[in-house]
Structure 1
Amino acid sequence: MEHQVYIKKSNGETELFSFEKLRRSLRSSGASNETVETIVEKIQGQVYDGMSSNTIYRKAFSILKGKHKSTASRYSLKRAILELGPTGYPFERLIGALLKERGFNTKVSVTLQGACVTHEIDVLAEKDGNVYAIECKFHADARATSNVKIPLYINSRFLDIQQQWNSNPKNTTHLKQGWLVTNTRFTADAVNYGKCVGLTLMSWDYPKNNGLKANIDSLALYPVTTLTTLNKREKHLLIASDVILVKELFDGKNKLVNIGLSDRKIERVLNEVQQLCGSDCN
């Protein structure tokens, strides 16, 4: 029988540990029911009052990695995105790639003139004659949230750009909407404000079933930081050479050679790449 244990969250608060929540997160990473129950059983025998949620994650990840590396990669997605920092540019590249897979023409890091001042736009996306200005709010701390001040600021910038764009007779497209994307979460006020002014918001799990995690999983657009066969230094070397996505390594043996990997390790990495994104690598 699963016993009640209170664990410490990353923000210092305590909460009742949910074995069912652990099961859901493992299943969503693609773990089989048998693997899920094996991990839950082991965690149940080790968890205690006051244990940190991070320690529980590491234990589950370690077991999962020993059974199936690509499943462990998907399980580590949230932390892998945090590792894309410290700058926000790799995250912007990831968002640009997500939109491109959804049929948008995208540009990353664009300077646009507003009615009043110039603005740096993280991602500019166009589809069917409509243009969208996307701002990416990257956090290196999973505890961070974007409060209402962020969408207030982003929306004011968007309105300045929109006024200039749509009044310019040389533009053949319509600047329709601003978006704000973060890798963590929005406060309730931020979400309500976005709904009120028509600013599209996307966070780790918002909108429901269409948040960042759901989109990355459905498109298999995993960042290289998810790869369990690479250490932190090797991941950062790839990011420094502008390799952000796992799929960029599918035919990228030279990119792995360039960061000093042996032939044996390259084979292991490429095997994990194939398992992780499969036919979506092409």
Structure 2
Amino acid sequence: MEDALIDIIKSSGEKVRFSTDQLQNSLRQSGADDQLVEQIVGQVREELYDGITSKEIYNRAFALLKNKKSIFAAKYKVKKAIYELGPTGFPFEKLVAAILEYSGYKTLVGKHMHGVCVTHEIDVYAQKNDNVYLLECKFHGEEGRNCNVKVPLYINSRFQDVKQQLEKDKNIVNLLVNGGVVTNTRFTEDAIKYSKCMGLYLLSWDYPKDNGLKDRIYRLGLYPITVSQLLTNREKQFLLSRDVVLCRQLIKDHFFLDHLGVSETRKQKIMKEISQLCDHGKQ
């Protein structure tokens, strides 16, 4: 399908050419089959106009998808659902830790570690075998706020302080200690260039390519609780306040729905939705 020659406005304010491929790919990740993808893309293309925002395109595609199958819409809204983890960054830190745990890492959130100069609170401490990652999580509650080079510059200075202190400890002589930054938005080119030069690990919505946050969430079925189409905002905030960040956690901790006074009939519907979301395969 040939792209319409339409310029759209991204959340950052940048003007780019509309891409059919990008819309198709995001719809397929939701589990929609080719026929439904082409149907939605066709309807969205008919409503395009120069200067339309990426948010308007998303909202239209989301509404069409939800009208066809709610579970597809839930998977489609992952990026928006992560923004809804706010206003604090703590649930995002828990999400990052959970994703790393499902990749074989042992994690701690909010670990205090001594540096040569001062003590630092590490957002996520992750270890697998001899590899240790000290990660700072930069959460943004709205689109368009990317991480510029100042972020890894600052994080690297903290990391070097802790690393120098760790190197004095004879018990960790065999550990390979890495610093890093994780964000729910994107890194600027300078931020990536500096981090590569300094050896900092980076993880963002779409970086590294094919292994960013979105890829890991879809691949592992680690959806944040905020993707649910059946839970109310109040219920989601209650669950987040009880450290239930992932849909997978609600399967184990479904008694929280009883605390919320959810009826048995509605509870069954919610748990069915959550179970479908946690299925690795496409619905």
Greater CA drift, 21-30 or 238-247: 21-30
Number of residues of Structure 1 aligned to a counterpart in Structure 2: 280
Give 1:24's aligned residue.
25
Check if 1:174 corresponds to 2:175: yes
Deviation (angstroms), 1:121:
0.2
Give 1:2-13 correspondences, 5 Å limit. Answer: 3-13=4-14
- Residue number in structure 1 paired with 2:123: 122
Letter in 1 for 2:67: G
Distance 1:161 1:11 in 2: 34
What amino acid is the match of 2:99?
A: L
**Structure 2 CA distance, aligned partners of 1:19 and 1:127?**
40
Name the CA distance, whole Å, in 2 between partners of 1:215 and 1:279.
Answer: 11
2:12–2:143 Cα contact (<8 Å) kept: no
Residues in 2 aligned to 1:135 and 1:188: alpha-carbon distance in whole angstroms: 19
1:229 aligns to what?
Answer: 230
Q: Deviations over 1:60-108 (max 9, x none)?
A: 1111112222221221111110111111100100111111111111111
Q: CA–CA distance in 1 between the matches of 2:242 and 2:44?
A: 38
- Structure 1 residues 198 and 244 mapped into 2: Cα distance closer, same or farther (>3 Å)? same
**How far did residue 235 of structure 1 move?**
1.3
Letter in 2 for 1:236: Q
Residue 275 of structure 2 is aligned to residue 274 of structure 1: yes
Q: Evaluate the alpha carbon distance shift between residue 52 and residue 279 of structure 1 in structure 2; reply closer, same or farther with a 3 A threshold.
A: closer
Letter of the 1:147 partner, please give it: N
Matched, 1:92 2:93: yes
The unaligned stretches of length 5 or more in structure 1 are none
Q: What residue number does 1:144 align with?
A: 145
- 1:183 corresponds in structure 2 to 184
Contact persistence 1:107–1:123 (CA under 8 A): yes
Is 127-136 or 45-54 further displaced after alignment?
45-54
Distance 1:40 1:133, change over 3 A: same
Distance 1:70 1:100 in 2: 25
TM-score (normalised: structure 2): 0.92
Which of 195-204 and 24-33 deviates more?
24-33
Q: Does 1:259 align with 2:260?
A: yes
Equivalent-residue separation in structure 2 for 1:132 and 1:56 (angstroms): 37
2:34 equivalent in structure 1: 33
CA contact (8 A) 2:4 2:18 kept: no
CA–CA distance in structure 1, aligned partners of residues 136 and 185 of structure 2: 14
Deviation string for 1:90-142 (max 9, x for gaps)?
01001111111111111110111101100010011111133221111111122
Q: CA deviation at 1:173?
A: 5.9
Equivalent position of 1:197 in the other structure: 198
Out of 61-70 and 45-54, give the one that drifted further.
45-54
Q: Percent identity?
A: 47
Distance 1:165 1:244, change over 3 A: same
Alignment partners' CA distance in 1, 2:151 and 2:273: 37
- Answer yes or no: is the 8 Å Cα contact 1:6–1:15 preserved in 2: yes
- The alpha-carbon deviation at position 175 of structure 1 amounts to 5.2
* Residues 1:212 and 2:227 are matched in the alignment: no
Q: Residue 54 of structure 1: CA displacement?
A: 1.2
Q: CA deviation at 1:6?
A: 3.1
Alignment-mate amino acid for residue 92 of structure 2:
F
Q: SS in structure 2 opposite 1:15?
A: strand
